């Protein structure tokens, strides 16, 4: 919503109750107090007066059930916002006050407003210290009267006429661009121009468009070195802990696998012994008394009731039969034997 037609449409809604944005963290219901070239002033019950950037407003919804109630309200307050032309003018009146940038999301912060430039402003936050915002990327801002605590430290900050001059003064310093999301980076500024920033991040060179830098914070070399040492120490301790955990897990897995192998091997031996050993013993018997083995019931059933003997038993049976037959033959007399011998002579 940048052209005059859209701005004129919103100006016709001054004094009415609307909902800015259909849904999301930036969505609020309230009465429109004023609409200028770049901002919309909305009076809400929850956050008080909110200043919305018209460049980021995607939709508005008129609350039809509250139009009659809003018409009874006085609209004289709109005259105090007629002289405001941009969000920077509003920020000038909020210096040294606690403000809330955006309603939600990773870039939303609350802090004391320290300074205002042409296209940026500086706040002192509890989470990140001194934080520089590019004004064009701010969706909404309001005075946060619920915060009254004193911010300790971080009041010293770098000044400049615009964002480009600020970034050029931070060359060879450690900065963090954006608070969250995939485009957040943290590294050392190598160079800065009006179009892009050159950063060294983990031995890699990044070229970042200056227009898409929503906010940034910088650290001194000593603080950055201390933080990097702390992070490296934490990472090394985590790596050592993970290595020890991995070794213990590998030992446990090896012991478990050996126990499983032993269990499966014993089971296989028992099963094979019960399956093949019993069958062998029932069919052939022991080696010591194999010659004296009697036929099994299974073989008797297959061959009938006829007894089946082994080869050794059959051989013994034949030898005994031959002895019986030789002993049963009649013995010749000596005279007959002598006559036979005489004939041969």
- If 0-12 CB within 10 Å is exposed, 13-18 middle and 19+ buried, where does residue 147 land? middle
pLDDT of residue 238 exceeding 70, the answer is no
Lowest-pLDDT range, 40-44, 126-130, 148-152?
Answer: 148-152
Identify which of 88, 81, 133, 80 has the alpha carbon closest to the alpha carbon of residue 111.
Answer: 133
Beta carbons of 174 and 165 less than 8 angstroms apart: no
Beta carbons of 126 and 151 less than 8 angstroms apart: yes
pLDDT of residue 254 exceeding 70, the answer is yes
- CATH 3.90.1570.10 assigned to domain 1-84? The reply is no
d(CA 139, CA 56): 6
| CB-based contacts of 177, cutoff 8 Å, min separation 6 | 183, 184, 185, 186, 197, 199, 208, 213, 214, 215, 216
The pLDDT assigned to 279 comes to: 54
Q: Which residues pair with 98 in a beta bridge?
A: 112
- Report CA torsion sign: 208, 211, 214, 219: positive
The pLDDT assigned to 48 comes to: 92
CATH T-level topology, domain 86-219: SH3 type barrels. (2.30.30)
Query: Per-residue pLDDT tens for 160-199?
Result: 889 989 999 998 899 999 988 888 999 999 999 989 999 9
pTM: 0.62
- The larger pLDDT score, comparing residue 165 to residue 256, is at 165
Query: Per-residue pLDDT tens for 273-298?
Result: 666 655 554 554 444 444 444 445 55
| CB-based contacts of 217, cutoff 8 Å, min separation 6 | 128, 129, 130, 131, 132, 175, 176
Identify which of 32, 23, 27, 103 has the alpha carbon closest to the alpha carbon of residue 66.
Answer: 32
Report domain extents, the chain: 1-84, 86-219, 233-271, 290-326
Q: Which residues pair with 62 in a beta bridge?
A: 18
At residue 176, the 3 state secondary structure works out as: strand
| CB-based contacts of 143, cutoff 8 Å, min separation 6 | 48, 49, 94, 97, 98, 99, 100
Asked if 1-84 and 86-219 have one fold, the answer is yes
């Amino acid at each position: 919503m940048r052209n005059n037609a859209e701005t004129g449409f919103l100006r016709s809604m001054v004094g009415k109750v609307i909902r800015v944005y259909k849904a999301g963290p930036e969505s609020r219901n309230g009465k429109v107090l004023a609409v200028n070239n770049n901002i919309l002033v909305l009076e809400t019950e929850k956050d008080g007066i909110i200043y919305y950037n018209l460049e980021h407003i995607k939709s508005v919804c008129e609350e039809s059930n509250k139009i009659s109630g809003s018409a009874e309200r006085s609209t004289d307050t709109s005259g105090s916002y007629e002289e405001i032309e941009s969000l920077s003018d509003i920020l000038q009146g909020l210096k040294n006050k606690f403000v809330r940038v955006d309603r939600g999301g990773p870039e939303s912060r609350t802090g004391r407003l320290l300074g205002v430039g042409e296209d940026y402003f500086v706040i002192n936050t509890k989470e990140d210290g001194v934080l520089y915002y590019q004004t064009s990327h701010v969706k909404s801002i309001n005075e946060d009267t619920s915060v009254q605590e004193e911010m300790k430290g971080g009041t010293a900050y770098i000044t400049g006429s615009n964002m480009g001059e600020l970034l050029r003064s931070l060359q060879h310093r450690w900065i963090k661009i954006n608070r969250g999301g995939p485009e957040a980076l943290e590294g050392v500024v190598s160079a800065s121009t009006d179009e892009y920033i050159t950063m060294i991040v983990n031995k890699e060179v990044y070229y970042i468009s200056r227009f898409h830098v929503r906010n940034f914070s910088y650290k001194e070399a000593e603080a950055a070195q201390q933080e990097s040492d702390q992070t490296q120490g934490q990472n090394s301790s985590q790596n050592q802990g993970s290595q020890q955990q991995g070794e213990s897990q590998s030992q446990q897995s090896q012991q478990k696998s050996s126990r499983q192998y032993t269990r499966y091997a014993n089971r296989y031996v028992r099963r094979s012994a019960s399956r093949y050993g019993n069958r062998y013993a029932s069919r052939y018997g022991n080696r010591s008394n194999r010659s004296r083995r009697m036929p099994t019931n299974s073989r008797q059933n297959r061959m009938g009731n006829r007894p089946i003997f082994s080869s050794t038993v059959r051989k013994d049976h034949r030898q005994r039969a031959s002895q019986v037959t030789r002993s049963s033959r009649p013995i010749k007399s000596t005279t007959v034997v002598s006559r036979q011998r005489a004939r041969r002579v």
